[in-house]
Each structure stands twice: as structure tokens, then as C-alpha cells.
Amino acid sequence: MRTETHRAALEDLGAEVRLLDIERDDDNEFAAVFEDCDALVFAAGGGPDGNAERKRTVDLEGSLKSVTGAKTAGIRRFVQVSAINVDDRLPADAGDVWRAYVEAKRDADAALRDSGLDWTIIRPGRLTDDPGTGAVSLGPDIPRGDVPRADVASVLAAVLEVDDTIGHQWNLVAGDTAVAEAVQRAARA
């Protein structure tokens, strides 16, 4: 959690809240916050603020500090939220902010794959605030599309429960397959 404003709502849901500033805190502060955790899900993003520098400091450096903090805290399991198709070549006319975002996500994914941790990378399409449906399309070659944030959260929880998801990265969009089955199918493929 970044600020105190969401503490009560998260605690009401049963979360143990820990405060961390992704941009300002260092590797040691990350490790301290991660103590006594079994797994880490990195789902932070610089947001649609038009600030290219924040894409680097949040999306890339935040992930790198999380990887280092996880290792220091003895956490092996790491799930990262990326973005669909970030390995594809960017068009020449891509804006500076979009380019910074895609490069940050791509580089964070590469660093996680090389980290030695038990990683899974989920690459959702365009996130929406629509209610979750509990049904998705998940796999390495799923075409770009929208996906409710609630369904992304369900997939993140599901991959943490399935060891066969370790070492995989998948695109994720809205679909017709129940989350648990989509995760099982992707892990078997």
C-alpha cells in the first residue's frame, strides 16, 4: 500500500496492510516490508499520468527493488503484472510515454525471468473497472483485448495456488473460460 487512505478498506477485507513507497524506499525497506510473506505479487504501475519518468521509477525500478527485496526476505514465489504484447516492436510513431511504459514493463519482465525466483508473469490487455465475470482467456498468444481488473486479481490468486504456473508468462483478456480452468489449461499447455 502506498498511502494510508486505503488502509481501513483493505483491513476490512482481511488484508495485513504494510506501507511502502515504491519510488522512494530502497531495497532494504522493501525487504523489511516483505518479511514473513510467502509470495509477492507486483502489480504496481505508474498510471495514466503522462509522466514517462514514472514509468521507469514505478514499473521498472519498483519491480527490480521488489525482486531484490524478495530475495533478501527469502521469498521464492513472485508473480508480476505486466502488459500484453510488450515484447512486440513498437511502431515508429509511438509516443514517448507509451514507449517508456512498454520498455519499462518489458525490461522488468526480462529481469524477473533472469532473477532465479519462481516467477509467473501475467500480461493483461486494457484494464477496465467493469465487474469481474470470472471468465478469461489466458495463454501465450491471446490477442489484445480488454479485461476487468477484478478478473486479473482472480487470475493472480489462482496462479499462486498452482505450482505448474511457475516459469510461464501469459496474455490475459476477458473470455469464456472460468479462471481456475483457464489457469489449469495454460499450465498444462
Give the domain CATH number at 57: 3.40.50.720
Active site residue 101: yes
Per-residue pLDDT, 100: 94
> Nearest to residue 162, comparing CAs of 77, 84, 91, 96?
77
Looking at the structure, do residues 101 and 136 belong to the same domain, yes or no?
Answer: no
Per-residue pLDDT, 31: 97
Residue 67: strand pairing partners: none
From 85, 104, 122, give the residue that closes a domain.
122
CA distance 56 to 68: 17
3-class DSSP assignment, residue 122: strand
Looking at the structure, do residues 6 and 94 belong to the same domain, yes or no?
Answer: yes
Looking at the structure, do residues 93 and 142 belong to the same domain, yes or no?
Answer: no
From 83, 99, 122, give the residue that closes a domain.
122
At residue 78's C-alpha, the angle toward residues 56 and 29, to 5°, is 60
Range of the domain at 143: 125-189
Catalytic one of 101, 122, 138, 155: 101
pTM of the entire structure? 0.94
Looking at the structure, do residues 45 and 131 belong to the same domain, yes or no?
Answer: no
178: cell is 472460468
Looking at the structure, do residues 163 and 78 belong to the same domain, yes or no?
Answer: no
Per-residue pLDDT, 2: 62
Q: Is the pLDDT of residue 46 over 90?
A: no
How many domains, the chain? Answer: 2
